[in-house]
Structure formats: C-alpha cells, structure tokens
Amino acid sequence: MAERLSNTVALVTGASSGIGAATALSLAEEGAAVAVLGRRRNKLEELADQIRAKGGTAFVVAADITDQPQAAAAVESVVKELGRLDTVVNNAGTMGVGQAVDSPLEEWEKMLEINVRGLLYVTHAALPHLLRAAEDSPRKVADLVNISSTAGRVARPGTAVYNLTKFGVNGFSEALRQEVMAKRVRVSVVEPGTVDTELSSHLRDGIREAIERQVEGMELLRPEDIADTVAFIVTRDRRVAVNEVLVRAGEQTW
C-alpha cells in the first residue's frame, strides 16, 4: 500500500459503483482509511471486502444523503468509527436528459435532490471536521473534492436541469474554496466527460438509446481514470491546490 494518505480518513459518496467505487479503491491504495457511503449496502460491503483484501481499512455507511439528518448522521458515524475526516469526495449524482417541455418533474426533482442537496448536506456536516483535520494532521491539509461534469461548463439542448445542477456545483465549489483556503482546506472540482458507468442506465427509454448512439464507437473514459484524477489532487503537497480538472474522453467534442 502507498503511504501518501496514511493516517488519514476519506469519505466517498455514491460509492456503490462507477467513479465512487473506483475512487474509494484508489484512496485506499494510497493508505487512507475509506468510508464508503451509498444506498446499496450489498454493493458497499462488496467494495469494502475488496479494500480489506488488499490490506486496507474500510467502513460501510448505508444512507440516503438527500435526507439531511441521514447525511449528517453518516458523516458523524465516520468520525466516530475512524477518528477523523481528512478527505471528502462528493461523487453521488444522477443525470436526466430530455427536452424541458415534456420532461417529468420527478426527474428534475431527483437531480436537484442528489446533485445539489445531497452534496450540500454532506459538505455542511463535513466542513468542521475538515477544518480540524487541516490543523492537526501531519499533512496540515484537508480536501473536499466535488465531482461535477462537462455539463458544468457546456450547456446543451436536453440537459437544462442537469446543467443547472452542475453549473451550481461549480459555483458553490469556487466560492467555498475562497472561504476556506486560508485554513488549508482545499476545494476542488473534477469535471468528467463521457464515462462508462451506470449513469446512462437511469435515462428514460428512447433517450437512453439516443445517448448510446451518440457515443457509439467512442472510447469512453473508465471510472479508474477519474479516480486517478481525484487521487492526484488529494495527494499533492499542502503548497499545491489543484482547483479544477476537466477530463474528457479523447474523442469527445462537447
């Protein structure tokens, strides 16, 4: 196991699969004790077993972060179990695609609940612990990494509310960065392009097929590519703050 994050604790949301699972594995390989948070306990337990099999430390937290009391309790349980909190990766998210005129409101609400409120609830609960970690950690730095999207930079027809959530994440992250940077809590945004994950499987019939045709033949990013980016950010020396990273697939134009 690598030692760059030894004696630190990381929390990854949306860790049941995809980018979240890959990021949890990557941070564990760097030596962090990793709390994996999501709603699918069985998937989280499988991931935790993988981390432990490689000699790492993992703690499973099954919770719905769109419920503020659950989100706050989840963060507190991590600190109680693992003793501290040095790194938070807000990865949980969902995507809805379709023309605004005929999109179901339930789809919009779900994006707002997970992509915005869930991220805010976890961040609010975690910030005091991150500020404390930046003071007493041997590394003298703590990290909050928010997983955004190319949709936080480029607005396109059919993704209006998804754009709303991701542009919002980017704006929130930048303002928060300026608030806490003097206390050595680094706030970073990672903006993945097309990644081979479960995200598109949540799309409505017809729309899902259209998206699949759009990326047909394209070599998609892998979750590990984004996990590598997160690991790079949080393993930098405290003098280095990587504020924003845009990671597109090699053939992606948008």
Active-site annotation, residues: 162
| Pairwise CA distance, residues 69 & 88, whole Å | 18
DSSP 206: T
Long-range (24+ apart) CB contacts under 8 A made by 250-253 are 250/219, 251/218, 251/219, 252/150, 252/193, 252/194, 252/218
Neighbours of 112 (CB within 10 A): 17
C-alpha Rg value of the chain to the nearest Å: 17
Neighbours of 69 (CB within 10 A): 10
Grouping H, G, I as helix, E, B as strand and the rest as coil, residue 59 is strand
| Pairwise CA distance, residues 77 & 69, whole Å | 12
